[in-house]
């Protein structure tokens, strides 16, 4: 238990360190050092997202999201995601072009820009913009249909990630 007291003290120091500019190396080291403590907290206490974000704000920065994913899955998140996006981008564009109705209207401008871009820039930026547009539509529709908001801070469903082949 005394080990966790020391890690709790380090977590509190991290809350101060995150406010200091150009402190990425210190934050990365502290986040790596407190990983086991953070995992115990997640598994045993199942905190809501807001509480967890208040306790571990550094974890919600892009660098730390990537680092935490690497610690858990032992593969680099961004590199894996972009590689998979490159592989499946043509199929995604075909699916997006086939959409009709309001989804077609929401994505039409982006698809037009996508068609005008050079092929090497086209894939990643175009797909990411299109999926952002479609996801925003899904979220708005969900909230409109259910009249609810996210409560409890976490979902029960776990998404499965494929591993590199």
Residue 59 has pLDDT above 60, yes or no: yes
pTM, to two decimals: 0.59
pLDDT at 142: 53
**Residue of 62 and 163 predicted with greater confidence:** 62
**Residue of 145 and 58 predicted with greater confidence:** 58
* Domains of the chain, residue spans: 2-73, 77-146
pLDDT at 91: 82
Residue listed under structure tokens 């009249």: 147
- Backbone angles phi and psi of 23, in degrees to 5: -115, 25
* Cα separations in angstroms, 103 against 55, 97, 111, 134: 38, 10, 12, 7
Residue 61 has pLDDT above 70, yes or no: yes
């Amino acid at each position: 238990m005394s080990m966790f007291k020391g890690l709790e003290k380090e977590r509190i120091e991290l809350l101060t360190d995150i406010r200091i500019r150009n402190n990425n190396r210190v934050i990365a080291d502290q986040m790596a050092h407190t990983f086991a403590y953070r995992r115990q907290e997640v598994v045993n206490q199942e905190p809501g997202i807001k509480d967890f974000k208040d306790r571990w704000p550094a974890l919600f920065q892009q660098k730390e999201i990537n680092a935490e994913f690497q610690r858990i899955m032992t593969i680099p998140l961004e590199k894996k995601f972009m590689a998979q996006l490159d592989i499946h981008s043509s199929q995604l564009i075909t699916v997006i072009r086939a959409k009709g109705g309001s989804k077609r209207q929401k994505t039409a401008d982006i698809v037009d820009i996508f068609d005008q871009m050079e092929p090497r820039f086209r894939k990643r930026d175009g797909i990411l913009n299109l999926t952002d547009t479609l996801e925003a539509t899904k979220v708005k529709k969900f909230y409109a249909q259910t009249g609810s908001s996210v409560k409890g801070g976490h979902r029960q469903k776990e998404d499965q990630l494929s591993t590199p082949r």
